[in-house]
Amino acid sequence: MNQQNKNIEFIYPLSPMQQGMLFHSIFAPDSGVYFDQSSYKVYGKLNVSAFKQAWQTVVERHAVLRTLFLWEDYQKPLQVVRKSVDLPWVNHDWRGFSSVEQQERVEAFLQADRKQNFQLHQAPLMRCALIRLAEDIYQFVWSYHHLLIDGWSGATIVKEVLALYEAGEKSHNLYLPSPRPYRDYIAWLQQQDQSLAKTFWQQELQGFTTPTRLMNRGVNTRANSKEIDGVQKIRLSMAITEDLQVLIRKHHLTLNTLFQGIWGLLLSHYSGQSDVVFGTTVSGRPPDLAGVESMVGLFINTLPVRMQMSGETSLIPWLQHLQAQQVEREQYVYSSLIDIQQWSEIPRGISMFESLLVFENYPDISLQQQYASLEISNLSLFERNNYPLTMLAETSPELSLFISYDNCRFDDAAIAQMLKHLQSLLLTILVKPEQSLYELLLASGLTATSLTTSVTKTEEFNDVGAHSNLTEHQLLIWLGHKFNPDALIYNNALTFTIPTEIDLIHFQAAFQVLVNSSDALRTIFLEIDGAPQQKVLPHLSYLVDFVDLSQVADSSVALSDFLDKRSQIVFDLERSLLDTVLIKLSHKKFVLYINIHQIIGDGLSLSLIFNYLSELYVVSANNRLPQVVQIPQFQDYIDYERKYRDSARYEKVKNYWQEKLSEPIEPLSFYSKTPKHTTTLAHRVSLKLGFERTQKLKALAIQEYSANITENTAIFNIFLALLAIYLYHISGNRKLVIGIPLHNRRSPAFKKSIGSFVQVLPLYIEIADPDNFQLLVKKIAASMLTSLRYSQHIVRNPRQHPVYDVVLNYHTTTFIDFAGAKIDFDWIHTQHTNESLNIQIRDVSLSGNFTLDFDFNRDIFDEILLELATQHFVQVLDVFLEDITLPILQVNLLSMPEKHRILVEFNQTQKAISKQTFTQIFEDQAEKTPNAVAVVFENQCVTYAQLNAQVNQLAHYLQSLGVKPEILVSVYTERSLQMLIAFLAILKAGGVYVPLDPAYPKERLAHILSDSQVSVLLTQNKLVNQLPEHKADVICLDTNW
């Protein structure tokens, strides 16, 4: 840049917000990020030349509107103000088109205008277009880069334009005081104490290590979509707006605080986290800077807002606390988001937040009013930032909520639902502001998954349980269903394929008698005075649905489609919790589908239902079916548990688990991924071990481990050991906790009762250095016996702080026949799991071939990782079957093919040597990917094009000093971007690179300089005085080249 350029008025650095915007604009030049477009209708006899002149005058008044940005060849980017610029302006006359055609052309023009990126090194970074639609109707479009101004400034500019136009039309002299220039704000920024800001933000974000991740809600996969932004809005009525304003005034709050609170709650709902961080914009206009309210420029800043929520916290005091935090944050509005990111515990390179809240309270530009003979209306704004989700709240005149979103991350339906949730939260607050956050979420129709830890505290759990007739296990299921009513976590669905003719009348009669005979199958759940109550209906007319697919061409496909849809049914706890369908495939082939909610029946209950049904069907076919048969009732177990909870034995067991759960256990990670439990969605991978593996495993179980225990228990202990070894090798954790489901049926009568008995027991396993397979299995067997002595206790497992995050279940239930016909059986996966990993072992048909079902949480395991995980687990099994004495530390998860890929294929270094020099290769890369990031150093990020330009500039300068082949050039710098530029420039100039480390003793530096006789020395200004005597020409990379 020529400093003598007569059209330069000022040069000064960028504000922190401008630096961030510039980075994103350079990094994604074609994305349109931070492109702003304002469009509105103008009605009246418009003097076009006067209107254009008013805009040109405003550009002349405000230096920031004549600004361009330079970053190449500069250590830090600069903004340069031109003395004068001509505002780009286009006029169109579309009066000859119909109103429909005009609307289409206007929309096409707006879209095309958004794709015309500004060249940031050319001023002005704004343009205007005036489109005539009728004699006295115009469409005006004002586009600009957000680097120049914020919304407050935009309002100021429009008001000045309209005032100037009105004065010109009336031939009045208009006095507008000279505005305070934006450079004064830049100077103010440079005077602020960054050390105070650093201390504040480090304390504010202490302990927050992982960003608040939003689930991709109804992800679109439109990879080739050209329009990636969507916007939806809702407008609240004036009555609701006024009621909210009355409410906040009553409690000395602001609307901004209210919206921050509900946005934080909504993020908590969607992320499943009680500690969330999002971004918010602040005006950034320092009150101690005189005249700041009328200044034009980019003052806004984006700062992180951290919210920690507990379910029992009352709403109003919580909002008042948020407001106090907001006031404290405003003391540090000058902080750079880049600096805050570095001061936080979020890993470098990971964005601190994914969502932004914008609360617009800048002056109303009053576009609905008349100016002279003009009427301005139908304002439309477009802005694109670099966040996938932005919520904008406007306050004039009615409250309006906008959500702009990345269409590649969120679909339209998901955002519409999000807006409904926002509106529901606001209306619920109006109805009852004196409530807890937990109550607010539930009353608004949202789940409170993120707040369950406080709700399931012992005292509160026991308080609800004391007023409920549910068992402890049922109460946990009820709470889980209430928190997440749309998930299918508690559905138990399966199918039985029956190869025989079935009489529908007898089948229906048998099923009705079974319902008549089991209290569990007639149970519904009501909420009375805040506590759940189970009610057994005296009679329930139950109809088994019948579907005939026997005439369908491809009945197997039709059956699969039907079951996929049917199994997605969500149960209503206040209605029947059993769903059955009899499906006819042919004259002698039927499929029975049964789905039961876990709150009334577990896996063994399904076996009992099928067996009872088979017996009753045979009795009905012989015309001897009674109305009711005698089977044990679940109420007997409810009475038993109530009595047990009042016993001394219960207190002893409870004390055992309180002590056990107090032991510190490091949270489990999976291939370096830490679970966040934002979803219960799961992938299932089913794997058959094969007959040979299964039989070898069973033989080992009998030979080595079955003393004093059953074969099934020995097999289960082996699988627990295999799982523990696998988890140890992928996480490094020696202390592990695995959840193991127990049938919990402690009497012969309970084993014949349909009901919800099963409970999950945490099994503690510790791996020591000398352990081998054999020793670990025996340790697990001993630990199992101890745990089983204290198993009659419900151990709660909150999702946010789980006791166990992996469950292993060995299904020993078998299904043999129906009315003499041998059946096939299959579980239907609901695609949900509470844990990160859930594994089932089964051989229900007694085929001698174990099947392993792996349910992987989708937040952690993608398709590649889940395939790798199953391979590694089977590898542990194969190693065990090969040598049970092998030390655990020597177990290798890699199979031979995987080892070959890593050690041979991936490490294949034989390659033809390139004939190009390093500098030629670098030039080619800069030409191929000029906008790709080449170097990242601290908060600096440089593209290949930028790096190449700086290197070339220094190389030419070195050549002007006589550097050529065999000329030695020394580099004496600290680790920095300048050091890399110097190295590359020496190579390009043809010189020889001689490194000097500032950490070397001065004597060693003197020896190197004397011995090498370097002609040029590149260094940094602060290091010059540390150099020993030498004869080289010194170039300070940070000051004088």
Strand intervals (E) in 275-354: 275-282, 301-308
Q: Which CATH number describes the domain made up of 918-1036?
A: 3.40.50.980
Q: Check residue 368 and give its pLDDT.
A: 43
Please write the tens of the pLDDT for every residue from 983-1007. 999 999 999 999 998 888 888 888 8
Q: Check residue 1041 and give its pLDDT.
A: 59
As a whole number of angstroms, the distance between CA 844 and CA 40 comes to 70
Is residue 632 helix, strand or coil?
Answer: coil
Q: Check residue 910 and give its pLDDT.
A: 64
Does residue 363 have a cis bond before it (omega within 30 degrees)? no
Average pLDDT over residues 624-633: 94
Are 212 and 278 contacting, i.e. CB atoms less than 8 angstroms apart? yes
Q: Which CATH number describes the domain made up of 638-905?
A: 3.30.559.30
DSSP state of 656: H
* CB atoms inside a 10 Å sphere around CB 930: 15
**For the packed helices 412-431 and 238-250, what is the interaxial angle rounded to 10 degrees?**
50
As a whole number of angstroms, the distance between CA 461 and CA 377 comes to 57
Q: Could you tell me the two tokens for 663?
A: 């032991």
State the number of CA atoms in the 13 A half-sphere of 217 facing the CB. 19
Residues 6+ apart with CB under 8 A from 271: 212, 213, 214, 215, 450, 676, 678
Residues 6+ apart with CB under 8 A from 15: 185, 186, 189, 298, 299
Q: Is the pLDDT of residue 639 over 50?
A: yes
Q: Residue 463: name the closest of 535, 529, 536, 534 by CA.
A: 529
The residues spanned by each domain of the chain are: 8-185, 192-212+230-363+383-444, 470-631, 638-905, 918-1036
Q: Check residue 5 and give its pLDDT.
A: 66
Q: Is the pLDDT of residue 225 over 50?
A: no
CATH topology of domain 470-631: Chloramphenicol Acetyltransferase (3.30.559)
Q: Check residue 454 and give its pLDDT.
A: 35
Q: What is the mean pLDDT of the chain?
A: 86
Strand intervals (E) in 18-166: 35-43, 67-70, 78-82, 89-93, 126-134, 137-145
Decide which of 636 and 1025 is more confident: 636
Confidence of residue 279 (pLDDT cuts 50, 70, 90): very high
Q: Could you tell me the two tokens for 968?
A: 């030695």
Which of 392-406, 462-476, 645-659, 933-947 has the largest mean confidence? 645-659
Q: Check residue 210 and give its pLDDT.
A: 75
| Superfamily of chain region 8-185 | Chloramphenicol acetyltransferase-like domain (3.30.559.10)
As a whole number of angstroms, the distance between CA 982 and CA 991 comes to 11
As a whole number of angstroms, the distance between CA 335 and CA 329 comes to 10
As a whole number of angstroms, the distance between CA 969 and CA 982 comes to 10
Q: Could you tell me the two tokens for 770?
A: 């000398």
Q: Check residue 516 and give its pLDDT.
A: 96
Tokens 């499906």 belong to which residue?
A: 583
Q: Is the pLDDT of residue 452 over 70?
A: no
Are 462 and 526 contacting, i.e. CB atoms less than 8 angstroms apart? no
Q: Could you tell me the two tokens for 282?
A: 């602040």
**HEC readout, 890-915:** HCCCCCHHHHHHHHHHCCCCCCCCCC
* CB atoms inside a 10 Å sphere around CB 957: 15
| Percent of the chain whose pLDDT exceeds 90 | 45
Decide which of 32 and 497 is more confident: 497
Task: Classify domain 192-212+230-363+383-444 by CATH architecture.
Answer: 2-Layer Sandwich (3.30)
Q: Residue 808: name the closest of 777, 836, 832, 778 by CA.
A: 836
- 305-319, 445-459, 602-616: the lowest-pLDDT one: 445-459
**Domains 8-185 and 638-905 alike in fold:** yes
Residues 6+ apart with CB under 8 A from 500: 588, 590, 818, 819, 820, 821
Average pLDDT over residues 615-641: 94
Torsion of CA 567, 569, 570, 574, to 10 degrees: -120
Between the alpha carbon of residue 477 and those of residues 310, 421, 489, 774, 1000, the distances in Å are: 21, 25, 10, 37, 67
Strand intervals (E) in 490-626: 491-498, 523-528, 531-536, 545-548, 578-586, 589-597
Please write the tens of the pLDDT for every residue from 831-850. 888 888 999 998 866 778 89
Between the alpha carbon of residue 454 and those of residues 310, 451, 458, the distances in Å are: 6, 6, 9
As a whole number of angstroms, the distance between CA 813 and CA 841 comes to 11
For residue 989, which amino acid is it? Answer: A
Between strands 1016-1019 and 1033-1036, the pairing is parallel
Q: Could you tell me the two tokens for 180?
A: 């305070």
Q: Is the pLDDT of residue 601 over 80?
A: yes
Are 145 and 126 contacting, i.e. CB atoms less than 8 angstroms apart? yes
Are 92 and 103 contacting, i.e. CB atoms less than 8 angstroms apart? no
- 389-398, 436-445, 632-641, 789-798: the lowest-pLDDT one: 436-445
Tokens 């961030």 belong to which residue?
A: 20
Helix or strand holding residue 742 (H, E):
strand 735-742
Please write the tens of the pLDDT for every residue from 172-221. 777 788 889 999 999 999 898 889 999 999 999 988 877 886 654 443 43
Q: Residue 428: name the closest of 409, 411, 442 by CA.
A: 442
Helix or strand holding residue 510 (H, E):
helix 504-517
Average pLDDT over residues 759-774: 92
Between the alpha carbon of residue 969 and those of residues 51, 951, 956, 990, 1012, the distances in Å are: 61, 15, 14, 10, 9
Average pLDDT over residues 777-798: 89
Please write the tens of the pLDDT for every residue from 533-554. 999 999 999 999 999 999 998 9
**HEC readout, 440-469:** HHHHCCCCCHHHHHHHCCHHHHHHHHHCCC
Contacts 24+ apart (CB under 8 A), 361-365: 361/255, 361/256, 361/395, 362/150, 362/151, 362/152, 362/154, 362/155, 362/283, 363/152, 363/155, 363/156, 363/159, 364/155, 364/396, 365/154, 365/155, 365/158, 365/159
Decide which of 966 and 30 is more confident: 966
Q: Check residue 463 and give its pLDDT.
A: 59
Maximum pairwise Cα distance, the chain? 116
Burial class from Cβ neighbours inside 10 Å (0-12, 13-18, 19+) for residue 913 reads: exposed
Decide which of 728 and 347 is more confident: 728
For residue 3, which amino acid is it? Answer: Q
Q: Check residue 471 and give its pLDDT.
A: 93
Q: Residue 261: name the closest of 221, 319, 310 by CA.
A: 319
DSSP 144-187: EETTT--HHHHHHHHHHHHHHHHHHHTT-----PPPPPHHHHHH
Are 37 and 381 contacting, i.e. CB atoms less than 8 angstroms apart? yes
Q: Could you tell me the two tokens for 468?
A: 């409920």
Tokens 């489109």 belong to which residue?
A: 131
For the chain, report the end-to-end CA distance as a whole number of angstroms. 13
* CB atoms inside a 10 Å sphere around CB 42: 22
Q: Is the pLDDT of residue 366 over 50?
A: no
As a whole number of angstroms, the distance between CA 992 and CA 963 comes to 9
Q: Output the CA torsion sign for 529, 535, 538, 541.
A: positive
Which of 335-344, 425-434, 555-564, 584-593 has the largest mean confidence? 584-593
Q: Check residue 742 and give its pLDDT.
A: 92
Average pLDDT over residues 947-973: 89
